[in-house]
Amino acid sequence: MTPTRLPLALTTATIMLATTLCATATAYAEDDPSVPPGTEATASAPVEVDANDPDLKIPEGATLAEPKVLDIKQVVEDQSGDERREDTNADVKFALQAEVLFGKDSAKLGAESKARIAAIADEIKTQNATKVRVFGFTDNLGSSAHGDSLSRRRANAVHDILDTELNDPNITFEVRGYGEQYPIADNSTESGRKKNRRVEVSFPRTEG
């Protein structure tokens, strides 16, 4: 009787081993997993809307406004904050902090600043722009008259380099000094005043 029981015992052990191996098989992420719990799509609206609500209806005789493309602005600023570029659908604008271009209370350009202005001139050429605006700004320290004069002289200095780099009689410039007007940061802090002391160069973007 013993020889006949041995195969049965071996068969039972084999089945148990196979069951154990199947139970400990490694799991892998599915190629097409289901959505996370709680994010399943629902056929019902999250908020019930009353189709007869008078606030949702156009008054009698009224018409919808003409559709228009919204102007999207993209702003890129270097880590130091010394230079900022703004791109919209219509224009390109570069803003250079005065400390990068000039000495304190000065309108004389440094050697490094000319390379920055030359890079802006290259972008003007790329955009085939024929109208360029160069605007100078200061913080609110000192007299308003002094700020107006300093910002104008700084704008003129940047214009002179751009004009030389571009060397194109078809390009017209608008050069202005606005002094402490149109701040872009808080003048009550030095970090804000530093941002306000700037020269902006802007020009139209190439259509298409």
Residue 112 to residue 129: CA distance in whole angstroms: 25
**pTM: predicted TM-score of the whole model, two decimal places:** 0.65
What was the pLDDT predicted at 72? 73
Residue 44 to residue 57: CA distance in whole angstroms: 22
Measured over the CA atoms of residue 205, residue 206, residue 207 and residue 208, the dihedral's sign is negative
The identity of residue 203, as a single letter, is F
Tens digits of per-residue pLDDT, 29-81? 444 545 555 455 555 656 677 777 777 777 777 777 777 666 677 778 766 77
What SS3 state is found at 12?
helix
Q: How distant, in Å, are the alpha carbons of 71, 74, 195, 205 from that of 68?
A: 9, 19, 33, 18
Measured over the CA atoms of residue 102, residue 132, residue 83 and residue 191, the dihedral's sign is positive
Tens digits of per-residue pLDDT, 101-145? 999 999 999 888 999 999 999 999 999 999 999 999 999 999 999
